[in-house]
Amino acid sequence: MKNYKESIAKEIEKLDIGLDYEKIYNLIELPKTNDMGDFAFPCFSLAKTMRKNPSLIAEDIANKLSIEGIDKIENVNAYVNFFVDRKEVYNQVLNEIIEKKQDYGKSDMGNGINELVEFSSVNIAKPFHIGHIRSTVIGDVIRNIYEYLGYNVIATNYIGDYGTQFGVMIAAYKLWGDKEKIDADPINELLNLYVRYTRESEDNEEYQERARQEFKNLEDGEEEATTLWQWFKDISLREFDRVYSMLDIKYDNYNGEAYSSQFMPAAIEELKEKNLLVESDGALMVDLSDYDLPPSMLIKSNGSSAYITRDVATALHRHETYDLDKNIYVVGSQQKLHFQQLKAILSKMGHKDVSEEVNHVQFGMVSLKDQVLSTRRGHVVFLEDVLNKAIEKTRSIMEDRDNDLEDLDQAAKIVGIGAVKFQELYNSRIKDYIFDWDELLNFEGETGPYVHYTYARAKSVLRKAGKEEFEKMDFSELNTEEEYSLIKSLESFQQAIIQAMNRLEPAVVARKVMEIAQNFNKVYNSTQILVDDEKLKEERLALTYATSIVIKNGLGILGIKTVEQM
């Protein structure tokens, strides 16, 4: 697609108005309505240097410009508005989509550049609950965005398989564990043991010390502690994999805390050599006052490591192993201080390049509007339960809509899980949001089911016309404002993906997909597609076909599959 904004900026620069190309380019806006043009250049900032009314400056610029591919240039008040040649846009955009299909919007801009995305990071022997959905799906989409733009991405699940909690688990199992019960229902039984031991150790120093000792045994490689830990890990991962399978999410590795512990001795030795460790009540700290941050404890008073110790070692190992551009951590906003301290420690160690690689992708909290799901499980709302309920509710809604789907169960699974993902991704990641069944399964709102239904509607039109493949053609008959708005949405698809990458914000893609779906429905409701005029019908069917391709590509980036009919 021709870069009209670039052409406009270059031509304005030639007028010698006192601004360089980059400043002009950044000033150019996209008007909200088609009647204001496709691009607009505001002249307010020129009034002071040119000593002239901004409206007169805009009029002068409009009269002097002539740009290939721009059909009309006019000034409205202090703006210069540019109207592109619509037929040229129709042909460029639609023929590119028809040619590239599933590759439309892709780029090789990331060729040879490595990015690592750490996401989900569930804790072994604990529930995979609704709160984990944010890191899990946001991280997956960030991975997909980078891959779509040609980057080499390493997706890692930094599982919580180390730390004091395992001292608690081992001590609890030795006291009250029942292997048969745990094998039958691993996560619930392990959770019950953890909760019981934590509760009973609150005022019991002996229990607290026993847990600390068991973790020390694990760090020292004591056989029984290591065997129990490996068993907890194996049965937990088996349970987690079932949920990841439902979400259709895969990882390159599950290198968690235990894996990273092997790199700790070298990191600790380096900290000691550089005199960065300060003793405090038997523990070893790093003073971060020069960064206006509180001190960070790396070695506890009993000699065991802290969480951040493993993160320091992990960051250094990843840098050496992968030659990273970015080391992205998709972790809740509550951990902001932790990552500030991590970056500061790496900088103090002299690894500024490693520190700069660390990118903390923060997100807000999710809560449920109702707690119906939590009654059977106590206070924990299992993510698997949420997904199964979404499938069940979607199936019921689709049955009520008198669907004659060949595989209703599969369609309900795709649309139901897609609805959960879409609601999560449509919200700006930094904001808290409320998980609302009525909202996420609404086929008429700004939801996943609405986008799914739009895609299925487009495919239905094509099936009815008996035309589901198209070749390059000359587009000369498309003529409505609704059609043009839709084509502009399709044209800006790649731009949205790049913006989402730059901001590490999946909502940009989700909202672009929604915009395309809404604009297609405006065309569908205002314009007859299957008209008698064969040329116009062919072009409108091609527009429908192109829309279905881009919606499917967009949903794919969001980790959501499509159904051909609903």
Is residue 126 annotated as a catalytic residue, yes or no?
yes
- Is there a contact between 261 and 255 (Cβ–Cβ < 8 Å)? no
Measured from the Cβ of residue 68, the count of other Cβ atoms closer than 10 Å reads: 10
Distant-in-sequence, close-in-space partners of 273: CB < 8 Å, separation ≥ 6 = none
Is residue 512 annotated as a catalytic residue, yes or no?
no
Place of tokens 């039109």: 461
Residue type, position 152, single letter: N
Single out the catalytic residue among 10, 48, 64, 126: 126
What is the H or E stretch that residue 368 is in? strand 366-368
Between CA 483 and CA 492, with CA 487 as vertex, the angle to 5 degrees is 150
CA pair distance 38, 481, nearest whole angstrom: 12
- Is there a contact between 423 and 448 (Cβ–Cβ < 8 Å)? yes
- Is there a contact between 499 and 526 (Cβ–Cβ < 8 Å)? no
CA pair distance 528, 429, nearest whole angstrom: 39
Single out the catalytic residue among 48, 87, 129, 421: 129
- Is there a contact between 309 and 299 (Cβ–Cβ < 8 Å)? yes
Burial 403-440 (b: 16+ CB within 10 A, else e): eebeeeeebbbbbbbbbbbbbbbbbebeeebebebeeb
Single out the catalytic residue among 5, 132, 319, 351: 132
- What's the 3-state SS for 76-123? ECCEEEEEECHHHHHHHHHHHHHHHHHHCCCCCCCCCCEEEEECCCCE
- Could you tell me the sign of the dihedral formed by the alpha carbons of 422, 423, 427, 433, in that order? negative
Q: Of 224, 207, 125, 123, which Cα lies nearest the Cα of 169?
A: 125
98 backbone dihedrals φ, ψ, rounded to 5°:
-60, -40
- Could you tell me the sign of the dihedral formed by the alpha carbons of 266, 272, 273, 276, in that order? positive
Distant-in-sequence, close-in-space partners of 398: CB < 8 Å, separation ≥ 6 = 405, 408, 411, 412, 415, 566
Q: Of 555, 559, 464, 460, which Cα lies nearest the Cα of 514?
A: 555
153 backbone dihedrals φ, ψ, rounded to 5°:
-120, 135
Is residue 379 annotated as a catalytic residue, yes or no?
no
Q: Which residues are identified as catalytic?
A: 126, 129, 132
